[in-house]
Amino acid sequence: MTTNALLQPYRRHGWIFVGEETTVLWPTTKAAAMSINVPASNPIEESLPRWPQPELSIGERIGSLGVLNRRTYWRIQANSPAHDVWNEVSRPIQRLLEDQFEHLEVKDQELMFDMFMIGKDHVSCQPTILFSCKNKACRRTAMQLVHKNGILEPYPAVRMAESARLPVSLATDEPVESELIAEASFDWVLSDITTLMQLTQKVYRECQQAGKEYTVCKDYLKHLYGLLQKLREAAQQSKTPFKDLSAIRTLKDVAVKYRSIIDSLDYILSTRNKLKTLNREKKTWQAIAYRKTNEDLRPILTALEACTFPIIPVIDSMMHRATNTTKSKDDGAVRANGLVLQPGISVEVVRSQSTAPRNATVGGILRIYDDLYGLTVKHAFLPPAITGTWEDSDDEFAFFDPSEVSQESDEENTAVELRSEGSIAIYSPLSETCLTYLGSIFSASSQSQPSKQMARSIQKSPKPSRTPSGTAFLGTLGGLLARSEDEPEGGPEPPMPLKIGALLMDAPSHSLLDWALINLKANTYDSDLFPASSSSSHQTQKENCLLPRDVLQNIVQLNGIRLYAKDLALEARDAQVWITAGNSDQVLNGKLSAIPSFRMLLGTGMFQELWTVTCVDGSFSEGDCGSWVVDCESKLLYGHIVSGYPGSRTAYLVPARKIFDEIAEHFGEATISNPDNWTSSPTNTSQDLALEPSNSDQKRMSTEYDNAHVMSSGWETGVAELMDISVLNQPWRSLNFMRPLYNSPEPSVYRQFTGA
């Protein structure tokens, strides 16, 4: 039966036959509309016809959406009626939005659309195309375009909805060193500077209104505001504004101290405002409070002055580095977090000395030209996009209303314009992590006592520690374990991350894929980590790559069985899979969905096809990007993870077949390294091939064959010399060179064959 025949019952007709009963699917007349009992809910939902037999299209439950989580959403079941509709409409929607990209107002956000079954329960759920984007105007414009072009007109029971929730990159930033408060990224510090400027301006106005006793404090705030403004300008002009780690530490320290000062000053001012309301009979108490205010102001003035001095040399250094940028030899290095005993290597990527390493996963090993390379994601080598985490964003779920005009309010449009210009923006407050990691704000030599609020903040702030108590770096099996809080400080130090290679190449700038190749030739692991090789042919590989053979051959242990990926999957299907997640102590079990999703990458105007995987026995963590997803039954590699929801069971992957095609186009044909293609060990292509003669029996057999062939082909009878040589360590490959009777300077390659 054709797809059109299968979809016919779900198209726009007044009646269909289900078994022997006649059922009204959607009303064709006003009387028919009145006869249908629709539960009272949303007016949009009331106006839509019901989807027949939704249980046929319901797949795995994902979670809840909307206010108070009133609606549940499920995946679409493969080969179901909803899946057939999705196959019909997804590509037209993709082409439409790509053609109308300039009208979408995407700006600096990503847009994603996919189909789910959404409803209050199994009975009332309907197939819904969900458009996800942080920009409300973008996702509403996308729905309006689809509606106006009539793509869903043949399927009136299919709804559209919008959400602000988007999957995020699972490649995360690590602190440059554990004493630093947060990642040393350009945008984090820049946003904090802007936040401090806004706070300074607010308190400055309060000091203006407070009276002459706050004049000195107001002058300090004005001076410090000017320094922060210069610091922000210098950071915007510099490509690597925080190259020096000491400068980063200085700015973090100043930011936290200054924030606490501002909070304390704000507390004093609010107390003073309350005193204004006192009756005249309480003038005595007011005078006492005024003297107390002066006492509180002294340490604040001292601290404000102290905050100005460290910023000036940082500005000078930053301006100098704006025109003098250098590249470290360690830029692009890839280091494993702990010992590596299974595929799915948890690594940290060193982008540059000025930025924090990013956690990612080398999901598996490829073989190209008999050399081995690790495969991971490209975005781990790029600066992180400032999009926020999905937990922090408002879900903003709503169904599409065709009667609603896709317009933003004047206030919202103004906010979008201001953010896009970069002149004025609304930034989140300083991270609470800053207040947690730093110690006391003022030195013990301070002559005056700080305010009560300052004292409380000092008391709550613990001393800086190398790692948060009870935690450690995430690694693979056999890697670092969390240190107990009760463990004495004299215990063993965790091993430092070891370099296993460096970035060789990644996806071209015009590519919609997300991949990077790691050159594994420059490993630094100790050879004691590796089991003894049972074959002399593997000795070269053991010395050169210094990685366990099971890892090099992508062998995993799943339920006590040794498995490995054999080939590439050509298409997605509903399947049981294993996931080589780097942050897991073991290979994870999962389920792959055959329903594709589409995500428009930043600035491209093109959609990338993604496949969805659900973790069955765990959840995905930050740093799992690059993990391989392999079919448990067919042993086919579907792809590697590029984004997801940290702490949840859902992630998205790009198809491996597209990645391998792109690698072949720009570098060379790649295959999955596994025991099937390890007849001999991979060799270094930069090394000259050593040649040696084959055994006498092989030489005699080939000579007899060649003499007979030469005579039958019209050549002069007899051969002056027939040489048979074999490539070292590859005795099954033989090159035969024939030199004719007449003088010839060089022999010609006559035949290449594969023997036993």
CA pair distance 251, 574, nearest whole angstrom: 51
Q: What pLDDT score was predicted for residue 409?
A: 39
CA pair distance 756, 750, nearest whole angstrom: 19
CA pair distance 549, 342, nearest whole angstrom: 9
CA pair distance 490, 577, nearest whole angstrom: 43
- Contact in structure between 565 and 364 (CB atoms under 8 Å): yes
Domain 186-241+244-321 has CATH 1.20.120: no
User: Dihedral through CA 390, CA 393, CA 396, CA 397, nearest 10?
Assistant: 10
Helix (H), strand (E) at residue 8:
none
β-pair partners for 615: 590
| Prediction pTM value | 0.54
Residue whose entry in the numeric block shows the structure tokens 């460290």:
310
Q: What pLDDT score was predicted for residue 256?
A: 66
Instruction: Quickly list DSSP for 469-528.
Output: TT-----STTSPPPPPTTS-TTSPPPPPPEEEEEEEEE--TT-S---EEEE-TT----GG
Amino acid at 554: N
- Beta-carbon contacts of 466 under 8 Å, excluding residues fewer than 6 positions away, are 178, 179
CA pair distance 31, 47, nearest whole angstrom: 14
The phi and psi torsions of 755 (rounded to 5 degrees) equal: -110, 180
Q: What pLDDT score was predicted for residue 355?
A: 67
Q: Measuring CA to CA, which residue among 346, 333, 304 is closest to residue 478?
A: 346
CA pair distance 94, 358, nearest whole angstrom: 32
Q: Measuring CA to CA, which residue among 179, 171, 166, 71 is closest to residue 126?
A: 71
Alpha carbon 116 to chain centroid distance? Answer: 23
CA distances from 695 to 277, 295, 638, 667 (A): 107, 98, 44, 36
For residue range 151-196, list pLDDT tens digits in order: 999 999 999 999 887 776 665 554 333 333 333 333 345 666 777 7
CA pair distance 232, 318, nearest whole angstrom: 10
Burial of 65 (0-12, 13-18, 19+ CB in 10 A): buried
Domain positions in the chain:
3-163, 186-241+244-321, 691-754
- Number of helices (H), then strands (E), belonging to the chain: the values are 16, 31
CA pair distance 589, 302, nearest whole angstrom: 59
The phi and psi torsions of 654 (rounded to 5 degrees) equal: -95, 145
β-pair partners for 163: 132
Q: Measuring CA to CA, which residue among 93, 95, 107 is closest to residue 138?
A: 107
Burial of 628 (0-12, 13-18, 19+ CB in 10 A): buried
Exposure of 194 in the CB half-sphere (CA atoms within 13 A)? 18
Tokens linked to 392: 């922090």
Q: What pLDDT score was predicted for residue 16?
A: 35
- Contact in structure between 552 and 673 (CB atoms under 8 Å): yes
Q: Measuring CA to CA, which residue among 637, 641, 626, 660 is closest to residue 577?
A: 637
- Contact in structure between 126 and 50 (CB atoms under 8 Å): yes
Tokens linked to 5: 């025949």
Q: Measuring CA to CA, which residue among 606, 340, 607 is closest to residue 480?
A: 340
Amino acid at 481: L
CB atoms within 10 A of CB 37: 5
Helix (H), strand (E) at residue 265:
helix 245-275
| CA pseudo-torsion sign 518, 524, 525, 528 | positive
Beta strands in 136-264 (DSSP E): 159-163, 172-173
CA pair distance 220, 302, nearest whole angstrom: 10
Enumerate residue ranges in the chain where pLDDT < 50.
Answer: 12-40, 174-188, 242-243, 277-278, 281, 285, 289-292, 322-327, 386-394, 405-492, 522-545, 683-756
Over the range 554-567, which residues count as b (16 or more CB within 10 Å of their CB) and which as e? bbbeeeeeebbbbb
| CA pseudo-torsion sign 42, 47, 52, 58 | negative
The helix/strand/coil state of 129 is strand
CA pair distance 360, 358, nearest whole angstrom: 6
CA pair distance 232, 226, nearest whole angstrom: 10
Residue whose entry in the numeric block shows the structure tokens 């389920």:
591
CA pair distance 450, 300, nearest whole angstrom: 8
Amino acid at 52: P
- Beta-carbon contacts of 490 under 8 Å, excluding residues fewer than 6 positions away, are none
- Beta-carbon contacts of 28 under 8 Å, excluding residues fewer than 6 positions away, are 14
Q: Measuring CA to CA, which residue among 666, 358, 339 is closest to residue 504?
A: 666
CA pair distance 422, 69, nearest whole angstrom: 35
Q: What pLDDT score was predicted for residue 365?
A: 92
β-pair partners for 679: none
Here the contacts of 726-734 (C-beta below 8 Å, separation 24 or greater) are 726/691, 726/692, 726/693, 726/694, 727/689, 727/690, 727/691, 728/689, 728/690, 728/691, 728/692, 729/537, 729/540, 729/680, 729/681, 729/683, 730/680, 731/694, 732/679, 732/756, 734/694, 734/698, 734/702
CA angle 250, 256, 262 (to 5 degrees): 125
The helix/strand/coil state of 84 is helix
CA pair distance 374, 379, nearest whole angstrom: 15
CA angle 412, 43, 115 (to 5 degrees): 75
- Contact in structure between 131 and 396 (CB atoms under 8 Å): no
Q: What pLDDT score was predicted for residue 103?
A: 85
